[in-house]
Structure 1
């Protein structure tokens, strides 16, 4: 059961970032597709499955926020990603602010994935300090 959940989770990770990247490109180009009903609903479905699968796996392996550092880091990263994504796709007042938030959200997303792969709260940041 765990591996099925992990497969679902990883699939949703990929679908989520692909969808966010596409919506970010549409935002930067001013495309009306950003307002399409499917564009507004599908990310919530994918992200809900992503979150539910993460919670189920955390329970199965006994790794919880504020207990396991890497899980705590992922939750904090997720909150940052959500805020940056909201600024990028909806809340940013200028195109420059939206573009900056979009790039920052992509960087945070990459960091979250690296935290998950390395099981380290620093994620890929650990390599930036290594010489």
Structure 2
């Protein structure tokens, strides 16, 4: 059961990250696809599955944020990712600001993934 949930979680990470990158691109290019119903609804569904699977994995593995440093790092990174992502997709923000926020959010996402893979709270920052 754990392995199936882990694979589901990883699939949700990939779908969420790719979907965010695509919506960021559409935001910068002014694409009308950003306003499509599916574009507005699907990310919430995927991210809800992502969060639910993350909570399930943490419970099954008995590893919790603020107890295990790498999970704490992931949760804090997630907050940064959400903040940058909201700036990146906000149509009222200047295009340059959205582009910088998009790059920052994608870099943060890659760091979160590196923390998950390495179980090191520094993630790829440990190599610097």
TM-score by length of 1: 0.95
Work out the CA distance in 1 between the residues paired with 2:30 and 2:91: 15
Sort the Cα spacing of 1:76 and 1:92 in 2 relative to 1 into closer, same or farther, 3 A: farther
Higher relative contact order (CA 8 A, sep 6+): 2
Partner of 1:120: 120
Mapped contact 1:85–1:105 kept (Cα < 8 A): yes
**Unmatched segments (≥5 aa) in structure 1:** none
- Tell me the distance in 2 between the aligned counterparts of 1:30 and 1:71: 36
Equivalent position of 2:16 in the other structure: 16
**Maintained 8 Å contact 1:92/1:98:** no
Query: Is the contact between residue 27 and residue 91 of structure 2 (CA under 8 Å) also seen in structure 1?
Result: no
Give how far 1:90 is off: 1.4
CA-based RMSD: 0.9
Per-residue deviation, residues 29-81 of structure 1 (Å, max 9, x unmatched):
10011111100100000011001000000011111010000000000000110
Structure 1: 4+ residue segments shifted above 4 A: none
Alignment of 1:97 onto 2:97: yes
Partner of 1:43: 43
Alpha-carbon contact 1:5-1:57 (below 8 Å) kept: yes
In the TM superposition, residue 93 of structure 1 has moved relative to its aligned partner by 1.7
- d(CA) in 1 for partners of 2:28, 2:93: 13
Report the counterpart of residue 52 of structure 2 in structure 1.
52
Change (3 A) 1:113 1:92: farther
TM-score by length of 2: 0.98
